[in-house]
Chain A
Amino acid sequence: MIETVERKSKSISTGIDWYLSSFRLFEESLNGKAASQIHSIRKDALARFAALGFPTTKNEEWKYTDISPLTKYHFKPMLKYSLEGLTARDVEQFTFHNLPSFRVVCVNGHFSEQLSTLSGLPHDVRIESLTDMLQSDSDIIREYLGKFVSYENDTFIALNTAFLHDGVFISIPNNTILKIPIHMIFISMESDSEFVSHPRSLIVTGKNAQVSILESYVNLTDRTYFTNTVSEIVLGENAVLEHNRVQLESTRAFHIATIQTQQERNSNFTANSLIFGGSLVRNNLNSVLDGEGAECTLNGLYLGTGSQLIDNHTTIDHAKPHCPSHELYKGILSGKSKGVFNGKIKVRKDAQKTDAKQTNKNLILSDDASIDTKPQLEIFANDVKCTHGATIGQLDEDAIFYLRSRGVSLEKARDILIYAFASDVIDRIKIEALREQLHEIIHDRLERERQ
C-alpha cells in the first residue's frame, strides 16, 4: 500500500520522464527503422512534448480541465500489434446490424488487416495501415501527414506525433463517391497493466469526392487506459465529407482527441461528435475554411454521468470569404459530471461575407453537475455575420407533469424530455442505424446513472 502511494506521488514530477523512457522502448522496437525521415519528426515532436510539459489549469486553454489525474499514471505504450485472441466475432458487437460498411479495425492504435473488411472497395479508394504508408514513404504522406496539424503548442499532438507509428490512412480520389460509409472501430484492450495508445488517422478526399465516415471508440478492458488520438482530414475542392464520431470509452479511460480539418474551395464538412465515455475527455476539433464557399457544420452531443469530465474545444477558422459555418453543441450533464465547451470562431481579415453561427445548450440534471461554456470570437473582417448563444437549463417541471398526467412514469417522462433535448443534434445525423443506436445509448446510460 505504502509502495503504491510513493510511486504515485513520485510520478507527479516524473510524468514527462515516463513518456521519455517509453520513447526509448519505442525506438528499440522499431528495429533499425529509426533512420527514416519520419523518425526525425518523431524526435522533434518528443522534444516539443518535453519542452511544453503537461498543461495546467493556469493555461487558458486548459482553465477548466485539470489533467493532473492523467499525468499520475505510468501507461504502458502498446508498441506491437497483437490481437490477443480477439476475433472478428468479438468485433461484431461494435458494428451496426443494419448498416453495410467498409470496416476498419484498430486494436490499441494498430491497424488490423485481419479484422478489417474492405472487400468491394473501389480499386482507387485506399484504406491502409499508416505503418505501411510510412514505410513506403509515399508522396501523399509527405504532402499531408502533419502538414495541417501542429505540435508546436500542443502537448498531446506532440506526444501523438512522437509515438506516430500506426493508424489509418484513407484516400478517396477525385470524383469518387463512396455510397457505403467507412466504419473505423478503435478498440482498446489489455489486461496486464494500464496502457496508452496513440492512434493517428489521415483522411484525404480529392476534388468532388464524397464519403461518410463513422468512428467508434470502444474497449474490452477493465484497466485504466489512455487514448491520445489525432486525425487529419483534408477536403479537396467541392468534396463532401461527413464525419460521425461515437466515443464510448470505458469509465476508467482518459481520452484526448484532436481532429484537424483543412477545407478547400466549396468543400463541405460535417462533424457529428457524440461523446459518452471516458473519465476525463478532451476533444479539440479544429476546422480551417481555406477556400471560398467552403462550409462546415459541427454538431456535438455530450452526455456526462458519474464524475466524468467532458471538455469540447472547437475552432472554426474562417480564412477565406463567403464561408458559412454552423455549430450546435448540446450537453446533458447528470450526477457529478462536468462539461466544458469552448467555441472559438476566427474570422481573418480577408474572410468577408463570413456567416458563422454557434449555439451551445446544456441540460443540467443534478445539483452536482456543472458546465463551463465560453464563446470566443476573434473577428478581423468587417462585413461578416457571427452569432453565438449559450444556454444552461434544467428539465421543465411543467413538461414532466404534463407527460405524467397522461400516465407516463416519472422516469420515462424524464427520458423522453432528455431525448427530445438531444433530438435536434441526433436528427441531423444521416445514418439511421446510428440515430437508433444513440437512442439506446442515452437510455442505457441514464438508466445506469439512476441505479
Chain B
Amino acid sequence: MLEIINLHAGVQGNEILKGIDLKVNVGEVHAIMGPNGSGKSTLAQVLAGRESFAITEGRVLYEGRDLLARAPEDRARQGLFMAFQYPVEIPGVTNTYFLKSGLNAIRKHRGLEELDAIEFLQLAKERAKLVDMDESLLNRPINHGFSGGEKKRNEIFQMAVLEPKLAILDETDSGLDIDALRIVANGINKLRRKDNAIILVTHYQRILNYVVPDFVHVLIDGQIVHSGGKELALELEERGYDWVRDDAEKAIVSS
C-alpha cells in the first residue's frame, strides 16, 4: 500500500529526514517511535502533503503510484488521512460544514453520491459515538475552544467519517489522560480493518497496549534504525532509546 524509498526531506536547507525506508501493507498497523526531534512528525506531514517541507531525495509510492507529486486534497481523496499532532483551531467554520465538504469531495472522487446535510448529520452522529464525542461539538467551530482531549477525539472522529485506506496518526495519544486514551484507542481499534492500514506515530509505548501494532520502527535522527515486532515497544519503554542509537552507530562503524 505504501512504500517509502530513501526519503530525504527538510526545511530551509535543514535536513530532517535522512533516508527513510518503510513498507506498509494493507491490514497492517505500524508504530513509529522515537525521541523528540527525531523526525516523526515531519514524516507524517510529508506524507500528508505539507508544502513547507522540501523533499530533496527519494520516493514514496502509494498504491503503486507516486504520492509526493500530489496535492494534499488529492491524497485525502485517494484515501490518505493524517490525524494532526496539533489540530488547528478555525473559528468561524463549523466542524460539520467543513467535514461535509471534505467527505463529499472524497465520495465524489470514489464515484459515490454526495451526502446532503441530513444524511451527513446522521453519519456524523453515529461516528461521533465511536469516540464518545459530545454531539454539541459537531456544530462548534473547528477545534475552537476544545480541550486537548476533545481535539484528539475530533481527529479520530474525522477519521471515522472519512474512512481512509491509510491513516497516519501523529501523536494522537500525547497529552491524553488514561481514560481519554482508552476511548481514543478504542475508536482506532474499531476503525482497524483488513482492508486498511494505520501508521501510529508515537513518543510513548502506552497507546500500544491498546492498539497492538504488527510492526514497531524506531526513528532516530531522521532514519529508521531498528524495526521489530510489538515486543520492541516494550523493550524501548524499559531501556529507553540509547541502546538502539548505540547499536545503530556500531552497525554503521562496522560496515
**B12 CB to nearest chain A CB (Å):** 15
Please, which residue of chain A has its CB at the minimum distance from the CB of B94?
Answer: A420
In the complex, chain A residues whose CB is within 8 Å of the CB of B90: 396, 399, 402-403, 417, 420
Contact B87 A407 (CB under 8 A): no
State which of A3-11, A29-37, A201-209, A408-416 sits at the interface with chain B.
Answer: A408-416
Contact A407 B88 (CB under 8 A): no
Contact B93 A416 (CB under 8 A): yes
**A303 CB to nearest chain B CB (Å):** 16
Please, which residue of chain B has its CB at the minimum distance from the CB of A424?
Answer: B92
Contact A410 B73 (CB under 8 A): yes
In the complex, chain B residues whose CB is within 8 Å of the CB of A407: 73, 76-77, 101-103, 105-106, 109, 162
Given A405-B76, A412-B101, A420-B49 contact (CB < 8 Å)? no
Q: Does B146 reach chain A (CB closer than 8 Å)? A: no
In the complex, chain B residues whose CB is within 8 Å of the CB of A397: 52
In the complex, A401 Cα to B76 Cα: how many Å?
Answer: 11
In the complex, chain B residues whose CB is within 8 Å of the CB of A398: 88
Chain A interface extent, by class? 20 to 34
Please, which residue of chain A has its CB at the minimum distance from the CB of B159?
Answer: A406
Selected contact of A405 from candidates B49, B109, B142, CB within 8 Å: B49
Q: Does A326 reach chain B (CB closer than 8 Å)? A: no
Contact A404 B91 (CB under 8 A): no
Q: Does A315 reach chain B (CB closer than 8 Å)? A: no
In the complex, chain B residues whose CB is within 8 Å of the CB of A419: 92-93
Q: Which A residues between 10 and 50 are near B, CB-CB below 8 angstroms?
A: none
**A35 CB to nearest chain B CB (Å):** 58
Q: Does B190 reach chain A (CB closer than 8 Å)? A: no
In the complex, chain A residues whose CB is within 8 Å of the CB of B98: 403, 406, 408, 416
**B114 CB to nearest chain A CB (Å):** 12
Contact B71 A405 (CB under 8 A): no
Q: Which B residues between 55 and 110 are near A, CB-CB below 8 angstroms?
A: 71-73, 75-77, 81-82, 84, 87-88, 90-93, 97-99, 101-103, 105-106, 109
Selected contact of A406 from candidates B71, B91, B109, B158, CB within 8 Å: B158
Selected contact of A403 from candidates B48, B52, B92, B102, CB within 8 Å: B102
Q: Does A54 reach chain B (CB closer than 8 Å)? A: no
Please, which residue of chain B has its CB at the minimum distance from the CB of A411?
Answer: B73
**A273 CB to nearest chain B CB (Å):** 20
Q: Does A421 reach chain B (CB closer than 8 Å)? A: yes
Q: Does B129 reach chain A (CB closer than 8 Å)? A: no
Q: Does A423 reach chain B (CB closer than 8 Å)? A: yes
In the complex, A405 Cα to B71 Cα: how many Å?
Answer: 9
Contact B102 A401 (CB under 8 A): no
Q: Does B23 reach chain A (CB closer than 8 Å)? A: no
In the complex, A402 Cα to B73 Cα: how many Å?
Answer: 10
**B170 CB to nearest chain A CB (Å):** 11
Instruction: Return 23 A-B CB contacts under 8 Å, by A number.
Output: A396-B90, A399-B90, A401-B72, A402-B84, A404-B71, A404-B76, A405-B48, A405-B72, A405-B75, A406-B102, A406-B158, A407-B77, A407-B103, A407-B105, A408-B102, A412-B105, A416-B97, A416-B98, A419-B92, A420-B90, A420-B91, A421-B92, A424-B92
Q: Which residues of B contact A (CB under 8 A)?
A: 48-52, 71-73, 75-77, 81-82, 84, 87-88, 90-93, 97-99, 101-103, 105-106, 109, 141-142, 158, 162
Known: A402-B84, A407-B76. 14 other contacts (CB 8 A): A396-B90, A397-B52, A399-B88, A401-B72, A402-B87, A402-B142, A405-B49, A405-B84, A406-B102, A407-B77, A408-B98, A408-B102, A408-B105, A420-B92
